[in-house]
Amino acid sequence: MQKLPKTEFELVVIGSGFGATMTALTIAQRIGDQRPDILMLERGTWWTTPVPTVQDKTIATAKFLKERGQPVQYWSSVEHFKGFIDLVLRCFRRPKNEDGLYELTQLGKRTWFGLKQEENDGVTVLRACGVGGGSLVYSNITIRPPDFVLADERWPLTWTAEERNSYYDLARHAIGYGVVSAWIEHDKGNIPFQDPTGQNQLPAGSVNEGLSNIVTRSARLNPHWTVVTDPHGRELKRITIDPDPKLPSENQNRLWIDRARVFQTAMSELTNDFGTVDSSINDLTPEGLKEDPQRPQNYPGKPLNYCERQGRCNVGCLPGARQPLNKQLMAAIFGKIDGTPPLFNDKDDNEYKRFHLHPLTEVDIIHALPNNGGYEIEYWQRDENKPSRKTSQKVRAKRVIIAAGCLGTNEILLRSKARGGLPHLSRKVGSGFSTNGDYIAFLEGLDKPVSLTRGPVTTSFGHFNTPEAEPGKPVDTKKFHMIEDQGIPRAAASTIGFGIPVIRMLTAQLHHSPRLFALLLIARWLWHRLGFYVLAFFKDASERQQIFESEDEFTNNMMCIVAQGRESSVGQFRLGASPTESPLRVKRTDNLSFTQDPIFAEVRSSLARLAAKLGSTKNFINPFIGGPAKVLKAESIATSHPLGGCSMAQSVVEGVVDEYGRVFYDTDTNTPAYYQGLYVADSSILPTALGVNPSLTISALSLRIADHLVKDIQGQVSA
Ligand SMILES: Cc1cc2nc3c(=O)[nH]c(=O)nc-3n(C[C@H](O)[C@H](O)[C@H](O)COP(=O)(O)OP(=O)(O)OC[C@H]3O[C@@H](n4cnc5c(N)ncnc54)[C@H](O)[C@@H]3O)c2cc1C
Ligand code: SF4
């Protein structure tokens, strides 16, 4: 691991996820001529594929990064139960494995070496730890919330509808092609991008190929979808229901991935507001369609990685088709394996290594230096070979952008306030947390097969309680929620295929002695599994044994969904008080438990209707709510979209930052003041739930914050 080249920087960015990448690359691109020193601090490592891809036939990426002093790990690649074990043991972050990729935190208090849960706060958070942040494991869904969500009075934004649309367009480009490309094309007035040459050129400075809409079983198949216009005037693609049987076979929807076909068909009977999600995945242009940089593509002469429908988006894309932000950061800081020089670190000028990223670096607290002299950041530097070994270090910066994600940023700010580093932060630090109304649920017994393990992990959505959902009818937008299909990686298929029916059985039997029943069931399962192995020797010649079913078969009449909705956003964080507590504790200010939020009744009602349309006689079950979770007093909302806690607001009385991410300084008077040069740009600033996947909104807001910060640096705005 390379040492920091110096201890003082112009700008330090904490984190490397959406907020961090959008802001750091914007500042580097827009004031590159002033050559600011930028340092990104990230607590995790780089992650990449261990197999050859179209663009990296010799698996050179890991070596390329290691040669530049960067710690790298490989995605888990095994596609069956062994892979599940690899994921749990190697890829989850825990003591002695602090460089793990996933961090699963059940907020509360545990004793007996973490085995006994003493206090349960009712929230479990899954997040990523690595260069690229949540983009490393996210489901690629790049979607905008309905405008009425942002019109909530808790949103302090002064942007006009036109400005808002332009930042969302910029964010789509920044995720789909690259942040640097977004600003280059923005300055030419070319967002949304149009190829001026007519030669199917990618936009200038692009790292990826743009967002795609993947619903077919293989790349290149023409989906033959129906196109409608969404409320923002963009194309929305959806399944052609009941295609005219007289049309040629290629006009049918039979080439669709089963999950997408079954989900959209069922959804079309429940809401008029449904369709295909925009995915941050490179794909090939479907055959017969014009090659067009606005569409999925792959250019002659410049083959790029493309989606092979392997369904592994949440555990690492082996063909390297996804568009995680680490690709952009590598291109910016180190260049590409094909010899393309770094965007910001000019190879010929050793003095000009101005853009640095330091992995395995976990920020502890921030101290404001006297007389507006900038900030000192205390961090833990982990040892690459033994990540549990860490040393305390410090770095100084004139400006700091905190973008450590919802939990990370809340922790840093609460610690900094409690330990006197930033004593004048708003009293609102930690308030306004939201689970984003996240809900995961499974349904077995569909009357048609569905492939849960093939295709991008999410293909489609259905919106409820929007004006478009049931045109002409009165609508209560406070009840807005969204349901999406969710695939599962094959490595987890046998666990989920067995586990969900078991949870359902337990739920049905729990009124009898529940713990005894659970133990008996586990004993029965173990005996059953061992028995199958023994019996296979005698029976397999005449009859196929269950243990020889493939991972796809375990789940092939099951549907998994994720839902989100307008949750109340009234969670209040505090720091855990002892090592047996999670670093952050949370409770709602209205004394309800998180599972009792009214939005979940709405979600469950829509799911009951969806279950019927999917031809199942069962109900969707959420393994984290009811049944065994209830008996074990471990019920929680499992969220991968934690939001808020350092909310944007108009004043220090109401929130932690203003709409440009500037951190308020509490003067105890009515005079507005800021911590000069201190910013927050990530999911923690969202003042309410979005009810949709948040990365596009986080990106749009962060680009706006960075744009304003650039003007600030250039002296065009007053503080
Ligand atoms: C499995 C999964 C699937 C998801 N799918 C989608 C989806 O399809 N679409 C969507 O919009 N959203 C999705 N999300 C949510 C999305 O990933 C997050 O909302 C988004 O990443 C948040 O961006 P951020 O900038 O706030 O923080 P992050 O992207 O989480 O980045 C924060 C970074 O800071 C680092 N960090 C934290 N603490 C410290 C510290 N103390 N010091 C240094 N570094 C630190 C972290 O390691 C991380 O890299 C998904 C999330 C998960 C877990
Ligand atoms: S479906 Fe597979 S190939 Fe396609 S993006 Fe996801 S992980 Fe990559």
Task: For residue 413, give the ligand nearest its CA.
Answer: 1
Pocket of ligand 1 contains residue 126 by CB under 6 Å = yes
Between 22 and 88, the higher pLDDT residue: 22
- Residue 350 pLDDT class (50, 70, 90 cuts): very low
Average pLDDT score over residue span 438-457: 93
Kindly report, residue by residue over 170-189, the tens digit of the pLDDT.
999 999 999 999 999 999 99
Check pLDDT > 50 for residue 516: yes
Kindly report, residue by residue over 10-32, the tens digit of the pLDDT.
999 999 999 999 999 999 999 87
- The single-letter code of the amino acid at 263 is F
Pocket of ligand 2 contains residue 454 by CB under 6 Å = no
Q: In angstroms, what is the span from residue 481 Cα to ligand 2's centroid?
A: 26
Check pLDDT > 50 for residue 351: no
Q: Are 96 and 388 contacting, i.e. CB atoms less than 8 angstroms apart? A: yes
Check pLDDT > 50 for residue 462: yes
Check pLDDT > 60 for residue 424: yes
Pocket of ligand 1 contains residue 145 by CB under 6 Å = no
Beta-bridge partners for 212? 279
User: What is the CA 79 to chain-centroid distance, rounded?
Assistant: 22
Pocket of ligand 2 contains residue 518 by CB under 6 Å = no
What tokens appear for 66 in the block?
């290691």
Separation of alpha carbons 253 and 644, rounded Å: 41
Residue 168 carries which DSSP code? H
Kindly report, residue by residue over 368-382, the tens digit of the pLDDT.
999 999 999 999 999
Parallel, antiparallel, or unpaired for β 431-434 and 102-111?
unpaired
Task: Indicate the SS3 state at residue 454.
Answer: coil
Q: Which of 76, 137, 138, 142 to mutate to test the pocket of ligand 1 (most atoms within 8 A of CB)?
A: 138
Task: Indicate the SS3 state at residue 241.
Answer: coil
Residue with CA nearest ligand 2 atom 4:
307
- Quote the crossing angle between the two packed helices 179-187 and 18-30, to the nearest 10°: 50
Q: Are 640 and 314 contacting, i.e. CB atoms less than 8 angstroms apart? A: no
Task: For residue 175, give the ligand nearest its CA.
Answer: 1
Per-residue pLDDT at 256: 93
Per-residue pLDDT at 416: 98
Q: Torsion angle of alpha carbons 610, 611, 616, 620, nearest 10°?
A: 160
Nearest CA among 641, 642, 648 for reference residue 686: 648
Separation of alpha carbons 307 and 257, rounded Å: 13
What percent of the chain stands above pLDDT 70? 90
Nearest CA among 665, 668, 669 for reference residue 677: 665
Kindly report, residue by residue over 246-300, the tens digit of the pLDDT.
666 556 788 899 999 999 999 999 999 999 999 999 998 777 766 666 655 555 5
Pocket of ligand 2 contains residue 260 by CB under 6 Å = no
Parallel, antiparallel, or unpaired for β 38-41 and 355-358?
parallel
Average pLDDT score over residue span 600-618: 97
What string of DSSP letters covers 368-432? EPTTT--EEEEEEEEPSSSTT-EEEEEEEEEEEEE-SHHHHHHHHHHHHHHTTSSTTS-TTTTEE
Separation of alpha carbons 421 and 605, rounded Å: 47
CA distances from 557 to 85, 276, 545 (A): 24, 22, 19
What tokens appear for 240 in the block?
């052609």
Per-residue pLDDT at 594: 98
Per-residue pLDDT at 554: 80
Pocket of ligand 1 contains residue 640 by CB under 6 Å = yes
CB atoms within 10 A of CB 547: 13
The mean predicted confidence, pLDDT, of the chain is 90
Per-residue pLDDT at 220: 86
Kindly report, residue by residue over 662-718, the tens digit of the pLDDT.
999 999 887 889 999 999 999 999 999 999 999 999 999 999 999 999 998 888 765
Q: In angstroms, what is the span from residue 126 Cα to ligand 1's centroid?
A: 9
Relative to the CA of 695, which ligand 1 atom is closest?
11
Q: In angstroms, what is the span from residue 129 Cα to ligand 1's centroid?
A: 8
Check pLDDT > 80 for residue 77: yes
Pocket of ligand 2 contains residue 456 by CB under 6 Å = yes
Separation of alpha carbons 167 and 365, rounded Å: 31
What tokens appear for 182 in the block?
């977004």
Q: Are 587 and 417 contacting, i.e. CB atoms less than 8 angstroms apart? A: no
Check pLDDT > 60 for residue 80: yes
What percent of the chain stands above pLDDT 90? 71
Per-residue pLDDT at 165: 97
Parallel, antiparallel, or unpaired for β 102-111 and 116-128?
antiparallel
Separation of alpha carbons 265 and 269, rounded Å: 7
Average pLDDT score over residue span 177-206: 90
Pocket of ligand 1 contains residue 456 by CB under 6 Å = no
Q: In angstroms, what is the span from residue 552 Cα to ligand 1's centroid?
A: 29
Average pLDDT score over residue span 138-142: 97
Class of residue 360 by CB neighbours under 10 A (exposed 0-12, middle 13-18, buried 19+): buried
What tokens appear for 7 in the block?
């201890």
> Poorest-confidence range of 210-224, 484-498, 658-672?
484-498
What string of DSSP letters covers 629-697? HHHTT---EEES--EEEB-B-SSTTT-SB-TT-EEE---SSSS--EEEEEEE-SGGG--S--SS--HHH
Exposure b/e, 406-434, CB count within 10 A at least 16 = b: bbbbbbbbbbbbeeebbeebbebbbbbbb
Average pLDDT score over residue span 572-578: 96
Class of residue 391 by CB neighbours under 10 A (exposed 0-12, middle 13-18, buried 19+): exposed
CA distances from 548 to 543, 551, 558 (A): 11, 9, 19
Pocket of ligand 2 contains residue 144 by CB under 6 Å = no
Nearest CA among 68, 52, 36 for reference residue 336: 68
Beta-bridge partners for 690? none
Pocket of ligand 1 contains residue 691 by CB under 6 Å = no
Which helix (H) or strand (E) element contains residue 264? helix 258-268
Separation of alpha carbons 241 and 253, rounded Å: 8
Q: Are 572 and 430 contacting, i.e. CB atoms less than 8 angstroms apart? A: yes
**Prior bond of 489 cis (ω within 30°):** no
Per-residue pLDDT at 1: 58
| Nearest-5° Cα angle at 307, 305 to 310 | 125
Pocket of ligand 2 contains residue 277 by CB under 6 Å = no
Parallel, antiparallel, or unpaired for β 637-639 and 235-238?
unpaired
Separation of alpha carbons 553 and 453, rounded Å: 9
Separation of alpha carbons 12 and 445, rounded Å: 52
Residue with CA nearest ligand 1 atom 4:
138
Q: Which of 47, 216, 309 to mutate to test the pocket of ligand 2 (most atoms within 8 A of CB)?
A: 309
Average pLDDT score over residue span 629-640: 90
Q: Are 160 and 10 contacting, i.e. CB atoms less than 8 angstroms apart? A: no
Residue with CA nearest ligand 2 atom 2:
310
> Poorest-confidence range of 193-197, 322-326, 556-560?
193-197
Nearest CA among 320, 544, 377 for reference residue 8: 377
Separation of alpha carbons 418 and 365, rounded Å: 10
Q: In angstroms, what is the span from residue 92 Cα to ligand 1's centroid?
A: 15
Separation of alpha carbons 703 and 178, rounded Å: 12
Separation of alpha carbons 138 and 79, rounded Å: 19
Pocket of ligand 1 contains residue 14 by CB under 6 Å = yes
Kindly report, residue by residue over 668-678, the tens digit of the pLDDT.
887 889 999 99
